[in-house]
Structure 1
Amino acid sequence: MQDWAGVFIPLVLFILLSPGLLFQIPGKCRIIEFGNFHTSAVSIIVHSVIFFSFAAIFLIAVGVHIDLGP
């Protein structure tokens, strides 16, 4: 059996946590801004920390497994 959780979970998190796509923490004028398609160095660092935290929680702590096929 192949475990695809290591591929799908980071892919989905990367898409959802891209700075400026859905939201940006911290924003330029507010703490959080939605859909502004801009980014900064601080928001890249914050989103990277959030990404790796969620990836570690889902893959290591919770132990999510996705098996495809029979």
Structure 2
Amino acid sequence: MADWGPVLIAVILFVVLTPGLLFQIPAGGRIVEFGSMQTSGASILVHAIIFFGLITIFTIAINVHIYSG
């Protein structure tokens, strides 16, 4: 039996936290910009830190497991 929980959570968070897709922190002239489809080095770093924090919470602290088979 394979544990698909961490894989599924990582894929969903990666899509949701892609800078510029849904939101971008920090934006060009604002703090938050929605649907800009643009990115910068600072926003990539901020989104990577948020991604790491959420993936750590979901896989280690909450201990999410999804089994197949």
Q: Fold-level match, TM-score > 0.5? A: yes
Structure with greater strand percent: 2
Q: 1:14 Cα shift?
A: 0.3
1:29 corresponds in structure 2 to: 29
2:65 corresponds in structure 1 to: 65
Aligned letter for 1:30? Answer: R
Normalised by the length of structure 2, the TM-score is 0.96
Q: 1:58 Cα shift?
A: 0.1
1:15 corresponds in structure 2 to: 15
Q: How many residues align?
A: 69
Provide runs of 4+ in structure 1 moved above 3 Å. none
Q: For 1:3 and 1:11, locate their aligned partners in 2 and report how far apart those are by CA, in whole Å.
A: 14
Q: Pairwise CA RMSD of aligned residues?
A: 0.7
Q: 1:2 Cα shift?
A: 1.3
1:56 corresponds in structure 2 to: 56
Which deviations, in whole Å up to 9, do the C-alpha atoms of 1:12-54 show, x marking residues without a partner?
A: 0000000000000001111000000000000000000000100
Identity, in percent, stands at: 55
The unaligned stretches of length 5 or more in structure 2 are none
